Amino acid sequence: MERLIERLTWTEVEAALARGWRRCVICTASTEQHGPHLPEATDALIGEALATGLAERLGDALVAPVIRPACSEHHMGFPGSLTITPELLIGLLEAYLASLRRHGFERFVVFSSHGGNYPILARWQRERPHPDTTVLTDVGLFQAGFEAIRRFGRNDSAGPHAEVLETSMMLHLHPEQVHMERAETGFTGELGLEGLLERGMRAVSANGIIGDPVGATAEMGRAVLEAISERLYAMTVGPIG
């Protein structure tokens, strides 16, 4: 069955609720640059796929519309990127929960496919906790993707931003939107999320890439999506399963 609420009719959502599907997955993504070879919608498209994978594994869950744009101030050096304030992102999350509860949803899982949202999710969880909501604030969940590509002979660790993980996932999900002829290595040094948020992406990487997308394949993308979806599921079932 289709899991995305925005692709269902109201009667189909009502029927899912009647069957006991009262859990909803919410992904916060972004609208921002992803190097010269990937579209601005990359985080949203990948986030939708990961949220769907998590919902399918949970069994009793639907997926809310992906939230975008979000907190991408560090990408604003590149044309096309959009950003909102942390307060607005938190307000949107509160509005999502309030709306979905009115329809009968009872449990929620919130995560992000965009690294810049994680500090805001942690702040939201700390300042306005919701007992019915699991908020995944560990950006390290993408480490599962790096572990998955080792079987393909890759030992990457930089990123993820427009590098082998995201490029491979997009080749699997939306190959028509990937321009591999433009793919090139970006910044591959050591840089944590805090440093990136402070300095801004363009000061770190002239082409907007952290890591190396060259050599990415759809086969790798399928493996990465499965690995990250499994990690999301493992991180979710502990607190609220």
What amino acid occupies position 98?
A: A
Tell me the Cα Rg of the chain. Answer: 17
Please tell me the predicted confidence (pLDDT) of residue 148.
97
Average pLDDT over residues 21-49: 98
Secondary structure (3-state) at 176: helix
Where is average pLDDT lowest: 35-44, 65-74, 196-205?
196-205
Beta strands in 92-157 (DSSP E): 107-112, 133-135
Whether the model pTM is above 0.75 = yes
Per-residue pLDDT reduced to its tens digit, 53-93: 999 999 999 999 999 999 999 999 999 999 999 999 999 99
Instruction: Tell me what percent of the residues of the chain surpass a pLDDT of 90.
Output: 90
Asked whether the beta carbons of 22 and 107 are under 8 A apart, the reply is yes
Which top CATH class is 5-240?
alpha beta
Please tell me the predicted confidence (pLDDT) of residue 190.
82
Per-residue pLDDT for 183 more than 60? yes
Secondary structure (3-state) at 48: helix
Could you say which DSSP state residue 117 is in? G
Please tell me the predicted confidence (pLDDT) of residue 238.
66
Q: Please give, one letter per residue, the 3-state secondary structure of 25-42.
A: EEEECCCCCECECECCCH
Residue 160's pLDDT band (cuts 50, 70, 90): confident
Residue 192's pLDDT band (cuts 50, 70, 90): confident
Please tell me the predicted confidence (pLDDT) of residue 240.
41
Q: Which long-range contacts (CB under 8 A, 24 or more apart) does 202-207 make?
A: 202/77, 202/78, 203/77, 207/35, 207/36
